Amino acid sequence: MMYWFFDKTQANSNADSLLNNDMDRRKFVTHTTLAAAGILASGNLSAFAIKNDEMLMNQNQKYRPLSTSGLGGVAAGNGFHENPDKDVNEALAAAWNSGVRYYDTSPWYGLGLSERRFGHFLRNQKREEFTLSTKVGRVLTGDKDFELKDGLWKGKLNFKYHYDYSAAGIRRSIEDSLQRLGLPYLDIVYIHDISPDNGDMKENWVKYFDEALKGAMPELTKMRKEGIIKAWGMGVNTIEPAVKAIEQADPDIILSATQYSLIKHEDALNKLFPVCEKSGVSVVVGAALNAGFLAGVDRYDYSGKFPEGVKEKLAKLTAIAKKHNTDLRTAALQFSAAPKFVSAVIPGAWNAGQATANAESFSAVIPAAFWDDLKSQKLIAANAPTPVKK
Close Cβ partners of 47 (under 8 Å, ≥ 6 residues apart): 5, 99, 101
Q: With both helix axes pointing from N to C terminus, report the angle between 85-97 and 113-122 in degrees, rounded to the nearest 10.
A: 50
Residue 237 Cα to chain centre, angstroms: 12
Would you state the pLDDT for residue 1?
A: 35
pTM of the model: 0.87
- State the CB neighbour count (10 A cutoff) for residue 41: 9
Q: State how far the Cα of 15 lies from the Cα of 131, in Å rounded to an integer.
A: 13
Question: Which structural domains are found in the chain, ordered by start?
Answer: 1-61 (no CATH), 64-376 (3.20.20.100)
Q: What are phi and psi of 166, to 5 degrees?
A: -75, 165
Maximum Cα–Cα distance across the chain: 57
Residues 42-50, mean pLDDT to the nearest whole number: 35
Residue 61: CB atoms within 10 Å: 20
pLDDT the model gives residue 34: 34
Give 141's strand partners. 160
Q: Between residues 233 and 46, which one has the greater pLDDT?
A: 233
pLDDT digits (tens, 9 = 90+) for 325-379: 999 999 999 999 999 999 999 999 999 999 999 999 999 999 999 999 999 999 9
Name which of 389, 346, 343 is nearest 364 in CA terms: 389
161 given a catalytic annotation: no
Q: Is the model's pLDDT at 18 over the cut of 70?
A: no
pLDDT score, position 58: 52
User: What are 292-302's pLDDT values in tens digits?
Assistant: 999 999 999 99
CA distances from 247 to 153, 211, 242, 277, 354 (A): 33, 16, 9, 12, 37
* pLDDT exceeds 60 at position 60: yes
Q: Among residues 360, 388, 387, which one has the least CA distance to residue 99?
A: 360
Q: For 168-225, write each residue's pLDDT tens digit.
A: 999 999 999 999 999 999 999 999 999 999 999 999 999 999 999 999 999 999 999 9
- Reported as a single tens digit per residue, the pLDDT across 249-279 is 999 999 999 999 999 999 999 999 999 999 9
User: Of the residues 102, 103, 109, 260, which is catalytic?
Assistant: 109
Q: How many CB atoms lie within 10 A of CB 235?
A: 30
What's residue 299's pLDDT?
94
Q: How would residue 52 be classed by pLDDT, with cut points 50, 70 and 90?
A: very low
